[in-house]
Amino acid sequence: MSLSINPPHPMDPNFDYASVPERFAHCLNAGCARAGQCLRQLVVAHVPADRPTFTVINNAPHRPDGEDCPYFKPDQPLRYAKGMTRLLDNLPHKKAEAIHSHLLHHFGRSQLSRARRGTILISPADQAYIKRLFSQYDIADEPAFDSYVYEYNWLASVFPAKH
């Protein structure tokens, strides 16, 4: 059965800066109206004194109030699934095979193996995909992930999406 924990309070005082990826873009726009909810802004307060450099976003091309900032990242941790070793155990064999085939196509062999073991986390979007597969194959049960963890979404690109 899946275990869920309560998400941590955003940017709590005990936040470990070591979890921030090396090239994560920080924001120094103190005048931004959304600074208090932006991960890029809040993480700046936790930069250790022994870190001589870090990546910073150039806010010059954007409105100073931050309203249309393409770099805004919500400071809310997301719920990632960790491991799915028993995901297909209680399913009828033919449905389990079909879902496994879809998962192989979606993740690729090595990523699926890592996600299954819990070596890599399963994003909320990938969890939703798996849930849709269950629904597509008329499986009423929720997908059974091994556990859940709350993490900040560091993975979004430094570059904003182009419209």
DSSP sequence for 109-145: HHHHHHHHHTSS-B-HHHHHHHHHHHHHTT--SPP--
| Confidence grade of residue 11 (pLDDT, cut at 50, 70, 90) | low
| Confidence grade of residue 10 (pLDDT, cut at 50, 70, 90) | low
Q: Quote the pTM value.
A: 0.76
The confidence score (pLDDT) of residue 14 equals 77
Cα pseudo-dihedral 68, 38, 30, 20, rounded to 10: -130
The confidence score (pLDDT) of residue 161 equals 43
The confidence score (pLDDT) of residue 92 equals 96
What SS3 state is found at 38? strand
The confidence score (pLDDT) of residue 154 equals 84
